[in-house]
Chains A and B, each alone.
Chain A
Amino acid sequence: MLQCIFLLSDSGEVMLEKQLTGHRVDRSICAWFWEQSLSQPDSFKVLPVIASPTHYLFQIVREGITFLACTQVEMQPLMGIEFLCRVADVLSDYLGGLNEDVIKDNFVIVYELLDEMIDNGFPLTTEPNILRDMIAPPNIVSKMLSVVTGNTSNVSDTLPGATSSCVPWRTTQLKHANNDVYVNLVEEMDAIINSDGALVKCEIFGVVEVNSHLSGIPDLTLSFANPSILNDVQFHPCVRFRPWESEKVLSFVPPDGLFKLMSYRVKKLRNTPIYVKPQMSSESGTCRLSVMVGIRNDPGKAVDSLVVQFQLPHCVSSANLTANHGTVNILADKTCSWSIGRIPKDKAPQMSGTLVLEDGVEQLQVKPTFRVGFKIMGVALSGLKINKLDLKNLPTPAHKGFRAQTEAGQYEVRS
């Protein structure tokens, strides 16, 4: 069971502590933690489970904020980590992003949320829909009201009905003027292209996002035209297992608003939409670099927000890189970022230039990895197709909408 949760800013300051059980944890543990993570930055900062002299610590880092949980007894580490992730998600949802200021400004809400989310070290209410009913998120109206009147309460005085229903993720007695439901396939493509230019791994990690604004308690059924391509799936708790096991259809009562109905993975794809070809040749202290980018298999829609990034090796002292399209930026941490945007029709974008190596280094032995980012709207590269969406138990007919998009996930080209 978790004993305490700390929120640390990116400078190591303890912004908030919430003791969860009677066995309190002194905040000096945070000082220890910060000292350690400063002294061994690469190994400590990223370890999610740490055994300190007095406690076991779980940490996740989100946008500079460190969420630190302590326990002294055996528990499932993933439970602690998953809970911290959930806390971070809820907070960033409530506060519209995470940073030091926003947490300090809304510390009361953070406390109230934490108190609802965990009781005696065991998660209590983590469903965002219910939390929203219990503790109102800050919005512009309440802020203005509080400026004018001096105070407003954000604590609801009734228990959300959903806590007692058999579909705890759904607010009861919902009424929407416009009934609509949107299904959005958001896919990320992970790919590894090795130094020989061969496609070693290419897979899609996708999410079926549903944005539902439906009255009453609707019952939805979503089916795919080609469910067999799905390698693996993860479901929102609202999805019933039986229909999926027998017929591969998703039957569910949706929560209100935006949620992830399902995540899936499609493995062993053969093609990538674009190619990135880096070439390097080094000679007597300098290294010539050229990178070509182009469309390989036209996905049918425009490839947008194309970015190629890579880390200059340590032994590079300076770099002179130009591109015939887009802009090249070299940041202070030796990250080189070439933003191309949309690929022009008439020419193939190319970046070229020289890297000057440090004194005494003749040849560049290490090879940087190029990370590629892109976005394609309107197409799901996995080829997953939605067959139909049935809505039952609705007072009025609803509007249905479908969309798809693909982004680059961990798309890497080794040189």
Chain B
Amino acid sequence: MDKLRRPEIRQQTTQQMYGVPENILEIDVVNPQNHGLGRGMFTTYEIQCRTNMPYFRLRYSSVRRRYSEFEKFRDMLEHEIGRVSIPPLPGKVFTNRFREDVIEERRQGLETFLRAVAGHPLIQTHSRILSSFLQNQEFHPTI
């Protein structure tokens, strides 16, 4: 019967039991806004990030990025992390770029993309550009 006894269990501290888990990561892509005029017009999306994970510099951040910056970010990620397959971005749009439903579809696609990428443990620990893309006010792609 001794063999069936439950193995020794380490006591958990109160802090461990009731403390906030270290895996909070909330990413939202919201508030699309158009900038510029005429042919130079483009749309930016706000990336809001709420987290308590140690990889991210800030607990809360809010930055604006446009689609082309997402593309460059994705290319840099693919270069940086060989082993992981990076999910695709929502497709390129050629006509009606500024129509409401097109922008909304793109916003949702970008949100899904960012959540999958930022939540991936290997990308979190091996990427230097993830936290700068998500939290730095200015994004400086090196490609």
Q: Do A and B bind each other?
A: no
B contact set with A: CB distance below 8 Å: none
